[in-house]
A and B are shown apart, each in its own frame.
Chain A
Amino acid sequence: MTGQNDIIRLDHGSGGRISGELISKLLLPAFDNPILSKLDDGAALEVDGVRLAFSTDSFVVDPIFFPGGDIGDLAVNGTVNDLAMCGALPLYLSVGLIMEEGFNMSDLSRILSSMKRAAKAAGVLIVTGDTKVVPRGAADKIFINTSGIGRIPDHVHVSADGARPGDVVILSGSMADHGMTILNEREKLSFSHGITSDTAPLHRLTQKLLAAGKDNHKGNRKDIHVLRDPTRGGVGTALCEISERSNVGIDIFEENLPIKPAVAGLCELLGIDPLYVANEGKLLAFAARPAAEKILADLRSDPLGVEAQIIGEVRSDHPGKVHLRTRIGGTRIVSMPAGDQLPRIC
């Protein structure tokens, strides 16, 4: 990060290789500690014997209203999901609002009521907050930060470095819905049918998965090794990260990847690989193979997981690399994208 590149570019916020470099070269050294360096969706903390998850996320999506949601429920669900991916039951959220001078009061009311609805649905309380207003042009309409804490049950241990050879990879539903919805709206591409953001709280799914087996000897809560919501950067980026962090190979199967026809069509039209497009209501679970059918059944019994699929498996060969078996039987690599062509997606 020297010479002609020594300014922040949009790519630094992409979630891909370039943001990874910013984090590892500037942020990690600045705040160096073993909790941060795990780089999970949230921090897992232990306070007087109580295990807590703590996470924060900022939302700058453009447009602020879109089919399926708005910046308000996105901000609540985003942090709820980060906590859920730590295996936690989300409890309390904070909200920071940064608004541009001239922003419509009625739009703000609309956003706040959708935050209220989303918090209620997720069973969390918004317990503290902050508002700031900046002069016209110093921000675009409204940016929202949410932070949250949740309780991690004693028996739960999930982390991006927990994938093991033999695990199956499960995706809870269709890919790329959120990112393509935003692109469709923002660029006024006017594909109106079947393209809606999937923003949703995932803690109910994760609680169901992590509790599975409690009263049932067939399953075991320890069977789930990794949980991840593939947001910015999509399923492909999340898998690359997990394969690197766990030092395992991952094979995924093109024909098993769930995607809605309208979303697939729009991706093809624009030459965008849906593997790298953001989701806001989907999770990836890595689990021991014997538990796979039970997990799949649990997911599919919930409206948010009806389209869940086993999309791949973890292998000991090609550690750190993700391979995709194509529909026609070929093989190719799924690599971490450098930056992102779609900024301000969440």
Chain B
Amino acid sequence: MSKELSDSYRDPTLAGQLVRWIAKISRKKIRLMEVCGTHTVSIFRSGIRSLLPDTISLVSGPGCPVCVTDPGDIDAFLALARMEGVTVATFGDLMRVPGSQGSLLELKSEGRDIRVVYSPLDALAVARENPDRKVVFLGVGFETTAPTVAAAVSQALQEGLANFFIYSAHKLVPPALAAISKNPDLRIDGFLLPGHVSVIIGSGAYRPFVETSRCPAVVAGFEPVDLLQAIGMLVSQIEAGEARLENAYKRAVSEKGNQAAQMLLENTFQVTDAPWRGLGVIPKSGLALKPEYAGFDAGKVLPLCVPASESPAGCRCGEVLIGKITPPDCPLFGTACTPVKPVGPCMVSSEGTCAAFHRYGGAS
């Protein structure tokens, strides 16, 4: 997006009008969930919480991919990094996430070969340059990230790279929303749907969820004006007693989404049941490599042995991830668990709710 265009979505006058509109129409006390971690960060960075009326609580959802990664998968990543002859390539966010024993960052300090990459295609380059190493890319992310991983697998196949592997812990957003809306403890009145994921899957992908759950949902962009508009649309639906799917991010999200990316996903992955931190196993909510790509599947090819994993004692990341509690409700928050010494993943990732509260929170 050009600077001029992005500036118009940060326009103070426009934002002020939306804030006044929301204050005017909001009557009921409601809880809205921003599903996406990038939304959480954007809401904090622009100070939106400080501008909303008391009637509206924003709770953060399971949209930080690192945070929802199951402790068992985190331990599998650590086990891979400890294997002789294995180079692990990962997004930076995973480096500090504590597993049952240590973190990738600690293993790197101990001399294990762990590379931070910005794209799975960079991991492919690492494999190309190090033919004597088995290079494993840690596949963590939603529908947004998975297509680039699929592209890397297809590229590796074309090149005949035999030392490139994927550990797929990819997850799908709509099944998690369904699980959250069914939980009576959570009382979510409306969902801000993730913009980036929606670019890929299309707004239409949420239609079955909205029809079944009867919960208002609006696809939202990431600039302050985008978010305020989407919040206003949710409030307006709720006040009118409606439950519809709306799209407040039409400049990027279409009804059908990016079909080329969807095709790539379909060709490479199959939908599988997947464990989520905080939500347990959700049926048909994960992506595993298809059998024809088994040769790239680190979980199948490498002798991976991961002991049973547990969340760290006292850590309530699981409840934070589904909006059951806010970070300050966790007794470890800001005391035993800080960005310097994180106990759970929500304090680690830049998109984690606890990290965002710790970094940006506190200002009224």
List the interface of chain A (C-beta within 8 A of B). Answer: 4-5, 7-11, 17-18, 21, 187, 189, 255, 261, 264-265, 268, 270-271, 273, 321, 323-333, 335, 337-339, 341
Contacts and interface: CB of A to CB of B under 8 A. Distances in A.
A255 B46 CA distance: 12
A327 B224 contact: yes
A175 to B, nearest CB: 15
Interface size class of B (residues with CB under 8 A): 35 or more
A17 B341 CA distance: 11
A187 B110 contact: no
A270 B51 contact: no
Contacts of A10: 105, 109
B3 A265 contact: yes
Interface stretch (B58-66, B303-311, B355-363): B355-363
B114 to A, nearest CB: 12
Given A7-B109, A265-B3, A333-B359, A328 B340 contact: no
A10 to B, nearest CB: 8
Contact of A329 (B44, B47, B358): B47
Closest 7 CB pairs of A and B: A330-B47, A338-B339, A328-B15, A326-B47, A332-B360, A338-B340, A331-B363
Given A326-B47, A341-B92, A331 B12 contact: no
B340 A9 contact: no
Which one of A270, A332, A337 has the highest number of Cβ atoms from chain B below 10 Å of its Cβ? A332
24 contacts: A5-B341, A7-B110, A9-B106, A21-B340, A261-B3, A270-B118, A271-B38, A271-B350, A326-B47, A327-B15, A327-B46, A327-B224, A328-B11, A328-B12, A330-B46, A330-B51, A331-B50, A332-B44, A332-B360, A335-B358, A335-B359, A335-B360, A338-B339, A339-B340
A108 to B, nearest CB: 27
B302 to A, nearest CB: 25
B359 A329 contact: no
B213 interface: no
B50 A330 contact: yes
B338 interface: yes
Nearest to B95: A341
Contact of A264 (B3, B16, B46, B350): B3
B133 interface: no
Contacts of A339: 339-340
Given A270-B118, A331-B364, A332-B45, A4 B106 contact: yes
A8 B110 CA distance: 10
Interface string B248-263: 0000000000000000
B334 to A, nearest CB: 11
A130 to B, nearest CB: 29
B300 interface: no
Nearest to A262: B3
Contacts of A335: 358-360
Contact of A8 (B11, B45, B109, B364): B109
Which one of B10, B109, B118, B340 has the highest number of Cβ atoms from chain A below 10 Å of its Cβ? B340
B12 A9 contact: no
Contacts of A187: 118
Contact of B47 (A8, A21, A331, A341): A331
B281 to A, nearest CB: 30
Nearest to B41: A271
Given A5-B341, A325-B47, A332-B360, 11 more contacts: A7-B110, A9-B105, A271-B41, A326-B45, A328-B12, A328-B16, A328-B47, A330-B51, A332-B50, A337-B359, A338-B338
A249 to B, nearest CB: 11
Nearest to B92: A341
Given A9-B109, A335-B359, A330 B338 contact: no
Contact of B362 (A270, A325, A333): A333
A330 B339 contact: no
Interface string B86-106: 000000100000000010011
Contacts of A189: 118
B360 A329 contact: no
A189 B122 CA distance: 11
Contact of A326 (B16, B224, B341, B361): B224
A324 B50 CA distance: 12
A189 B119 CA distance: 11
B49 interface: yes
B48 interface: yes
Which one of B6, B12, B363 has the highest number of Cβ atoms from chain A below 10 Å of its Cβ? B363
Interface string B3-39: 1001000111001100100000000000000000010
Contacts of A264: 3
Nearest to A8: B109
B312 to A, nearest CB: 13
Given A8-B109, A328-B10, A333 B363 contact: yes
B118 A17 contact: no
B108 to A, nearest CB: 8
A265 B2 CA distance: 9
Contacts of A341: 92
Contacts of B350: 271
A325 B19 CA distance: 16
Contact of A323 (B41, B105, B224, B363): B363
Nearest to B6: A268
A93 B252 CA distance: 55
A7 to B, nearest CB: 5
A187 B118 CA distance: 8
Contacts of A261: 3
A327 B12 contact: yes
B232 to A, nearest CB: 14
A327 B340 contact: no
B361 A333 contact: yes
